[in-house]
Amino acid sequence: MEETRSLQGQKVDKARIISLEKGKIPPQALDLEIAVLGAMMIDKKGIDDVIDILHPEAFYDKKHQEIYAAIYTLFQNSEPTDLLTVSQQLRKDGKLELVGGDFYLINLTQKVASSAHIEYHARIILQKYIQRKLISISSDIIETAYDETVDVFDLLDLAEGKLFEVTQGNLKKGSEDAGDLVKQALKKIQDISNQDGMSGLETGFTKLDALTSGWQPSDLIIIAARPGMGKTAFVISMAKNMAIDFGHPVALFSLEMSSVQLITRMISSETGLTSEKLRKGNLEAHEWEQLNVKVKKLSDAPIYIDDTPSLSIFDLRAKARRLVSQHGVKIIVIDYLQLMTAGGSAGKGGGNREQEISTISRNLKALAKELNVPVIALSQLSRAVETRGGSKRPLLSDLRESGAIEQDADIVSFIFRPEYYGVTEWDDDDHTPCEGQGEFIVAKHRNGGLENIRLKFTGHLAKFSDLEEGFSSEFQSKMNAVSPDQFISPKDAFGIEDDGGDVPF
């Protein structure tokens, strides 16, 4: 839909046309527009207070849009802003006569004495703009709703998407020139250099964070593995780390397990009590105390779980938007991609399965960009891994059902545990024991390097954690083989006598 129409040879805002057709004046605050522009030209502090609140389209009067655009240009170029410089900028842009010349600019500055309350005035101007925008969006929705050829679920998605843009203040804009984008990039680099920690969201896995600098906003991350490798265990461990240790709100869409099953596994990982014990409820007195104390952190963690089965990409986008808007969710996790559907309603397919997966993958990347948060999708691998001779380490070609997953993703990674296949040593030069370990393989990284990162896997807790440097994997595997309430001695671990001295690990 066009945002403007031609009216008596002039371009007029669509909301204005709709309001005039209904005999109503569009929402506006011309007196405040004059006050804000005048204050910005007489007081630099006024610019600092409102430059991040308003944009040219927020002004109702076309003249005021051009004047604000000139002020904004001067601000971006770090040049002084006053009556003379604004006049000069408008003259350079060929817009001075359009706004009424120097006489109109002088009148603006004479209307105000200071920049007091300018921020409050600017927010009212923005509110009026949002009202006009809602009128325009509503008109588009009404007009499209009468079109019988438009799918109703596509219309719902369109409507919610446009309203979400208004809610976030992230309204559709045109292309940006390289100069503005370079300034934004330099500012981001400067901000990153001045801050402690990662530029993205920390996962709690040290080597992974060092490689990626944390999960980055707008990235689509695929984590793939064969069944039983620990995909869900990895994202549960990661979600727990992110929410409890770093306070990042996490949304987890579980299409395979119920929300109660998922949170029970998190409780097991956090408390050190096996899922079997929690499922049967046969805990000792000290274990009940351990449960009640350690579960407090998890109950306060900003983790939001949705276990809707056969979730469609349409429903996911709607739910994700609400979670980001209402709870400030910073990362979205889907377990897992192949259980999703592409249709907006039950029974509505997206062609064959490969095309459907392609549609889902493409929409997940679009969702990550729209919400500016990382989206992690778990994925199954094909059976080719099992039938392949030699190493069972996954390859990009093993991604199941669609090459579009590899194409759309910013990061493609695999989880690989050799002991699942009865292998006891890594295939490296040292033949290091691999029991109780897993490998997080970064096979594609659009903005960084590739690496195979080894992690500790605690089987009875279904938990991944950092593999401590210098820690014997042989001793670790023995530790993983016993329950947490058992003790393993140095003699059992290494075949040495405990003489009361220092243990060599």
Report, as residue numbers or ranges, the catalytic residues. 256
What is the C-alpha separation between 285 and 296, in angstroms, rounded? Answer: 18
Residue closest to 262 by CA, chosen among 333, 327, 318, 200: 333
Q: Which residues contact 493 (CB under 8 A, 6 or more apart)?
A: 472, 474, 475, 478, 479
> Which run of H or of E encompasses 214?
none
Structure tokens at 374: 């990382």
Edge-to-edge strands, sheet with 250-254: 303-306, 250-254, 331-335, 375-380, 220-225, 411-416, 437-445, 451-458, 463-466
3 state SS of 307: coil
Pairing of strands 10-13, 4-7: antiparallel
**Which residue bears the tokens 């309603």?**
345
What is the C-alpha separation between 214 and 331, in angstroms, rounded? Answer: 11
Q: How far is CA 410 from the centre of its chain?
A: 13
Strand partners, 146: none
Is 99 in contact with 86 (CB distance < 8 Å)? no
Is 307 in contact with 254 (CB distance < 8 Å)? yes
Is 468 in contact with 448 (CB distance < 8 Å)? no
Residue closest to 377 by CA, chosen among 259, 234, 500, 274: 234
> Which run of H or of E encompasses 14?
helix 14-21
**How many Å from the N-terminal Cα to the C-terminal Cα in the chain?**
69
